[in-house]
Structure 1
């Protein structure tokens, strides 16, 4: 379903306080359509936020499902926002993926 960028961003903003299912039901739209609008909104938010350049990071882990399947979340503690989520487990190799994302030359400046 073609939509205007403005409408997609508006619907994406609604997904911040309601689930995609609720927004889809409210508008009588397909779930995938609302999901695409939400993704467009999130990409616009990344453009506004700019590239991460943390000086102090916090590292935490989340469980994806039972059986010890987890991911790493890295946050910029000064601006209080997540800057990376990923990896395949809680290993040093997964953390190296984050450092690659941030840029190898920056890791020596991060506390």
Structure 2
């Protein structure tokens, strides 16, 4: 949206066709949710475990997993205003000792 608005201004428009709004407060941080059911979409967790095994890290070393999820078109308890230009993503994260991650079944990652 930002780049489209910039392009419109460069091409001579006096204002962008979609006026930006600034409502960063709608994406404020909250407490992490508790997992209450089994999730079968754990490809990232599986890759994290396999990577850790291949690296042959010390069992006590802490390994991290962080990735981005775009929430702009996701279905949550809120809806972003159509004119919201800002970033809309979350960064779930997990950490574990390498030994625990490698020696436990995949269900360990999900708990």
> TM (normalized to structure 2)?
0.24
> More helix by proportion, 1 or 2?
1
> More strand by proportion, 1 or 2?
1
The structure having more radius of gyration, on CA atoms, is 2
> TM (normalized to structure 1)?
0.24
